[in-house]
Structure 1
Amino acid sequence: MAKKKPDYPKSKIVAVKEEIHGVQCKDDFRWLEGDADGKITPEVAEWTNQQNAFTRSILDNLPGRQPLKQRITPLLERSDNSLPVFAGSRIFYFRREGHKNQPCLFMVDSVWGKEQLLIDPELIDKTGLTNVAWFSPSHDGELLAYGMARSGDENYRLKIMRVKDGTHLGDEICNKVINVFWLADNSGFIYSRLADIKNPYSREIRLHYLGDKTDDDRLIYAQYKEGPLATTWGPFASLSEDGRWLLLSYYTSTRSNDLWLIDFHNWNDSGEFEKREIIVDCDSMTHARVIGGSLYIHSNEDTPNGQIYQVDPAEPSRKNWKILIPERTDATIEGWDFTRSSLIVSYQKFAASELVKFDLATAQQSEISLPGIGSASISCSESKEDFFIRYESFNFCPSIIYYDCASNSRKAWWKCELAVDLSDMRVEQHFYESKDGTRVSMFLVYRDGVKKNGQNPTLLYGYGGFGISMTPAFSGLIIPWIQDGGIYAVANLRGGGEYGDKWHQAGMLSQKKLVFEDFEAAAEWLIAQKYTCSEKLAISGRSNGGLLTGACLIRRPHLFKAVLCGVPLLDMVRYHLFLMARYWVPEYGCAENEKDFDWLVDYSPYHNICRNREYPAVFLYTGENDTRVHPMHARKMTAAMQANAANTHEKPILLWVDRESGHGMGKPLNITVEEQTDQWMFIRWQTGLETAR
């Protein structure tokens, strides 16, 4: 007897046929994009209600969901602390404790001083949907600018608090405000926002003086109005701490920018906006800082792993750059910051962190030891010798270390405490060959005693884009999976930043398929090495990683048992028409260009679903308030797969649309607990982990 397909909610077919560059294209579910502006319609809202109800009818009835939720909840309720930020004698940071839905903002008057709560978002909004996303203290620590958003929409509204008594100034600025840099006398700041909240390509940099009306804020620089650079990430600016110099950057792609130096005092006094060229019209990413009368530059121009230079601000053009820290062939620079006398450089070697301190006076360098193979980030101040390090790994809870350069000593400043024994959790790094012979690395995490018998439920995670690295990071969510005998794998795919700019470039545009091949090769290696088998293997990815898992499930449906596909891009022929997606054209290409269309339509998951083919079980999830990746991708993919796939009720195609969240930023704890329980329960069900206990 033929197995029955699930009784999915009905998705009507309204075929739209069009010819694109001589190719006939058919789109049966374009109505799920919403109205002409991409806004949700009543019909789409009702369809979403039905899909959510269907998904709940499956997931809520899986045996073991409530016990799993009870195990996951305390792991998500663990304390988490951001890197502290120096400002005068004060130190500011985020921390989320226990049952709190959102992180709170705290301050101490000294490194070991008494903690003071500044902002608790739940006192502002009891629903837990409002979050403080960023903060920027004035140089003396007396004032605090911060940005708030709600329901994950990332529409940050700037407010300013008097730190001493918690009262607020009347100044408020709206429209996705970010990147606040204070003037030296703390009388105002520069900031970035959208000129038009409905236009993601309208970013501008302005100067605000405290007490002034926002309409009176002077325009410093604006996103170009036309041409290919009008739809990139646009302008970014920062001020030197003494307020003398403005560094102005303009993104020309997802891996390149132009950079200039401006005498800010001269512009503010005379209105003369003289751009001194640091680097322009180059296929590279460059950042800079003015410290103590010198301009320091970090660039990967002709040095894909990055190099640091020094130059006189009076003559900052590339011909005058002098190498301070040469490129390493074995590691790439992922970050840098300054203390009063040192430059701290964070390297990435084989996708893990190394920290090196360079003395600016003597040029001596010394490595800063870390607890193991993990991920480290730093927070420094130009006026202090000490700094903070945040460190974590798959089997090492996040901790913040206070490092005193003067005494060359360190002390634990904060550490996440979990009542879980991680001593039997093993972390390994392996290398495998992709289809074209390229060597790719992958982390494996599993418990002692797991046997290589080809039967271990395994979750393989990947991203592979935008130069973003997948490094060892702690996640309490994998602990129950590991405890019960599962394996967790993270692949360092091309398109990421693990091995420098060339690694990123190798997974862009027409070479995007290499990212998918790297991921598929990781799965094949796990099977060949008898860690798992196709019937026990699940894959997971979010955003660009959702495109990755969506493409791989279509390309190699019999290689995987189950797929988690989060906030994904899936219609690559029309993705650029929605929200801020034209930002990503330099990474993916655009179907408006014929040569780009050829490779996009060739791998676009939505356009390559085969009728009556059996696919892995799929759980797509998205947020209705996503301002980055439009939820239409997940909607259309769900409808098309439910209509065409030969999957039975044992391998369903499920969709969950969170009505109170966006791309993931600012998601409250209570929603996160339910979301993660659903996802891990789905993977356990499909890979049979419960029977492996």
Structure 2
Amino acid sequence: MKKYSLILFVIMTQLSFAQNDSYLWLEDVENEKALNWVEEWNKKTLAVLTEHNSYKGIYNKNLEIYNSTDRIPEPTIFGNFIYNFWQDKEHERGIWRRTTIKSYLSKTPEWEIILDIDNLSGKDNIKWVFKGASGLYPDYNKFLISLSKGGGDAVVIKEFDVETKSFVENGFYVPEAKGNTSWIDKNTLMVSTDFGDGVTTSGYPRQVKIWKRGTELKDAKLVFEGEKDNMGVWGYTIPTQDKTYQLIMRYMTFYTAQYYVLEKGKLVKLELPDDIELAGIVNDMVILRLKSDWEVNDQFYKQGSVITAKYNDLLRGKPDFYLLVEPDERSSVAGLSSTKNMLLVNMLNNVKGELYTYKWDGSWRKHKINTPELGNISLAASDENSDNFFFYFENFLEPATLFYGDAATGDYNKVKSLPTFFPTEKYKVQQFETTSKDGTKIPYFVVGPKNMKPDSNNPTLLYAYGGFEVPELPSYSATTGTAWLEKGGVYVLANIRGGGEFGPKWHQAGLKANRQRVYDDFHAVAEDLVSRKITSPKKLGIFGGSNGGLLVGVAFTQRPDLYQAVVCAVPLLDMKRYNKLLAGASWMAEYGNPDIPEEWEYISKYSPYQNVKKGMNYPEVFFTTSTRDDRVHPGHARKMVAKMSDIGYKIYYFENTEGGHAAASTNEQRARMYALIFTYLQMKLMN
């Protein structure tokens, strides 16, 4: 009887919220009425922002930056070639091209265009967006190209021949879905997609099949099937000289998964904790990242550590584990990569990058590479045929520089740097700490003029994310520099909980019932900026996207007294229905399940859509989203705008008709979006 009563209560609660929500029609993305509503709002917002005296200059400068031929061509190594996807003025939708490693390292690389996305879009009359390519090891003469219609996560996958520069006639083709494919050999794929039997409640694949060339996709052999309420199931391969590892990941939730391998056609489950991350296989050693403490074989491994085991031992269920990295309270592993013989580990130490190499010879031998200091290191491409690799270094005032190194010796050379688009010598970077509501120390960076006065009058933009164990790191932004810093603004990056700056513990401190800690951290940074007289509430703006959009939505509804301007981009806002919209169900491990009364109780206290009230002194928020966002539903932003407008609040709204979750597909669209954002910020905080 109790169980029945609880179920009935949940059903009645859901019906009540649905009946009381008069804006549900805006969740119908392509509905004519909804699209007309979007068009009207776009017109109103563009009429104000594009006519502002700041807009044209910001837009033109943005477009110059995005189209600059001095940008670093991001490298991806396949065999003897470096591949790169490139967009500029002449190639709006982009070209996929390649060059030799020797040519790439020269001052003027000679590029060979492999695929022109603009030509393909014109031919097919579809606004294609290039979403990556998977090559056939070891010759890489065939690729599986992923293409999105308008920039969403769902892709069409087609086989491509780089020698003939054409799609393979009657080759492998996977219809549009949120799936993926991997090569087993030239005639065999491992495929995770919607095979017509349904997907998970999160909209991701729940089946993995082996597909042979010359057969129909519907006839592919099923090798694994997950449950409907799993987040998703994916198969992938790791090709090496000795063998091709075939792995399957069954994600029960966003943070829990079971790993399986296919050996001689048989499925073998790896006996590992559900919250462990299998990060790769190097020289037959499986690399594992721990999300929680683990005691195994009479050994204790701390949360956040990286451990390894021999593949065959793990397969037999009798592994010996070897400790690779054990971070402390203020450090974490930011990235892992491998060359032919070496493992590369990118560490964060108090939100500053360090780079190490490890070599296995019965135990792991560690060496620190003497990289530039006080900035953000990110691993780029690595070479499976040698120990060479690429990495980036940047910080707020140093443009990204690409280096080419030898992991075996630790030596490296500069390849190319981004140009400096604004006079960085005029600015300084400071790192502060403040105390959150529960006593936790929260670090943040402040970028501003060297002669900045503590007079509470500096226009300040505060940015944070605070979710999904994603660290926010010092990075160079030419658009922020030219459109904000050069105009007299101050930029602040907050390293709040929920992120990954200090490992899994920092992230888990803000999960589910503890979510309010994330928002308290954000408020604490804002209050500290005011108390230090860097700025004042009338001069303070905030910016966040996706989960960060939820963050700033909570911020202005909880503390409207702190903020004068809010940019809320591709946001989650209706936390009562988020798990029913697109990929939302996959995030319940982060936020909780609003259909469970006990969990809705804490979610309801911060959900912006439910907490908007009449008679509040809210700032004039600028909401942005994309019609083609198939990850975070555009209905979140649409409904919030409609509700706030009907209550009587002045707001701004712009919805790009393509672009997916990034809200932009071309350089022109990116230039326009950020011109609108910075025009709004200048209008609210500087004029």
TM-score normalised over the length of structure 2:
0.89
User: Does residue 291 in structure 1 map to residue 290 in structure 2?
Assistant: no
Assess if the C-alpha contact under 8 Å between 1:144 and 1:162 holds in 2.
yes
SS across alignment from 1:602? coil
Which of 116, 121, 131 matches 1:120? Answer: 116
> Deviation per CA, 1:262-294, whole angstroms, max 9, x where unpaired?
31xx10xxxxx33132314x3x23214333343
Which of 276, 281, 292 matches 2:269? Answer: 276
Taking structure 1 as reference, are residues 38 and 238 closer, same or farther at Cα in structure 2, changes over 3 Å only? farther
Which residue is 1:89 aligned to? 80
Structure 1: distance between partners of 2:539 and 2:196: 49
Structure 1: distance between partners of 2:584 and 2:117: 30
SS across alignment from 1:617? coil
1:44 shift after superposition? 2.1
> Deviation per CA, 1:674-693, whole angstroms, max 9, x where unpaired?
111111101111002x5xxx
> Deviation per CA, 1:201-220, whole angstroms, max 9, x where unpaired?
43433333444433333333
Which residue is 1:59 aligned to? 49
Which residue is 1:371 aligned to? 372
Which residue is 2:98 aligned to? 107
Which residue is 2:586 aligned to? 583
Number of equivalences? 652
Amino acid at match of 2:344: I
List gaps (5 residues or longer) in structure 2: 1-8, 105-109, 294-301
527-536 or 111-120, larger mean C-alpha shift: 111-120
SS across alignment from 1:670? helix
Amino acid at match of 2:332: T
Taking structure 1 as reference, are residues 507 and 180 closer, same or farther at Cα in structure 2, changes over 3 Å only? same
1:655 shift after superposition? 1.4
Taking structure 1 as reference, are residues 588 and 86 closer, same or farther at Cα in structure 2, changes over 3 Å only? same
Structure 2: distance between partners of 1:464 and 1:654: 24
Which of 661, 678, 681 matches 2:679? Answer: 681
Which residue is 2:356 aligned to? 356
Q: CA RMSD in A?
A: 2.7
> Deviation per CA, 1:201-250, whole angstroms, max 9, x where unpaired?
4343333344443333333323323xxxx241433433342444322222
Structure 2: distance between partners of 1:447 and 1:433: 25
SS across alignment from 1:675? helix
Structure 2: distance between partners of 1:26 and 1:365: 56
322-331 or 621-630, larger mean C-alpha shift: 322-331
SS across alignment from 1:112? helix
Which of 29, 50, 55 matches 2:40? Answer: 50
SS across alignment from 1:510? helix
Structure 2: distance between partners of 1:327 and 1:82: 34
Structure 1: distance between partners of 2:118 and 2:478: 24
73-82 or 488-497, larger mean C-alpha shift: 73-82
Taking structure 1 as reference, are residues 23 and 401 closer, same or farther at Cα in structure 2, changes over 3 Å only? closer
1:585-600 paired onto structure 2 within 5 Å: 585-600=588-603
Structure 2: distance between partners of 1:121 and 1:197: 32
1:20 shift after superposition? 6.9
486-495 or 376-385, larger mean C-alpha shift: 376-385
Structure 2: distance between partners of 1:585 and 1:407: 45
SS across alignment from 2:101? coil
Structure 1: distance between partners of 2:599 and 2:563: 29
Which residue is 2:238 aligned to? 239
Amino acid at match of 2:248: L
Assess if the C-alpha contact under 8 Å between 2:427 and 2:450 holds in 1.
yes
SS across alignment from 1:136? strand
> Deviation per CA, 1:578-614, whole angstroms, max 9, x where unpaired?
1121011111112210111101111111111121212
601-610 or 59-68, larger mean C-alpha shift: 59-68
> Deviation per CA, 1:31-76, whole angstroms, max 9, x where unpaired?
53338x8444332222222222221232233233222222322122
Assess if the C-alpha contact under 8 Å between 1:541 and 1:548 holds in 2.
yes
Taking structure 1 as reference, are residues 470 and 406 closer, same or farther at Cα in structure 2, changes over 3 Å only? closer
530-539 or 322-331, larger mean C-alpha shift: 322-331
Assess if the C-alpha contact under 8 Å between 1:300 and 1:307 holds in 2.
no
Amino acid at match of 1:575: Y
Taking structure 1 as reference, are residues 197 and 636 closer, same or farther at Cα in structure 2, changes over 3 Å only? farther
370-379 or 74-83, larger mean C-alpha shift: 74-83
List gaps (5 residues or longer) in structure 1: 1-17, 268-272
Assess if the C-alpha contact under 8 Å between 2:464 and 2:493 holds in 1.
yes
Taking structure 1 as reference, are residues 294 and 607 closer, same or farther at Cα in structure 2, changes over 3 Å only? closer
1:300 shift after superposition? 3.1
> Deviation per CA, 1:528-585, whole angstroms, max 9, x where unpaired?
1111100000001111111111111000001000100111111111111111210111
Give the share of equivalent positions with the same residue, in percent: 24
Which of 453, 469, 472 matches 1:470? Answer: 472
Structure 1: distance between partners of 2:609 and 2:409: 59
SS across alignment from 1:287? strand
Structure 1: distance between partners of 2:248 and 2:633: 30
151-160 or 81-90, larger mean C-alpha shift: 81-90
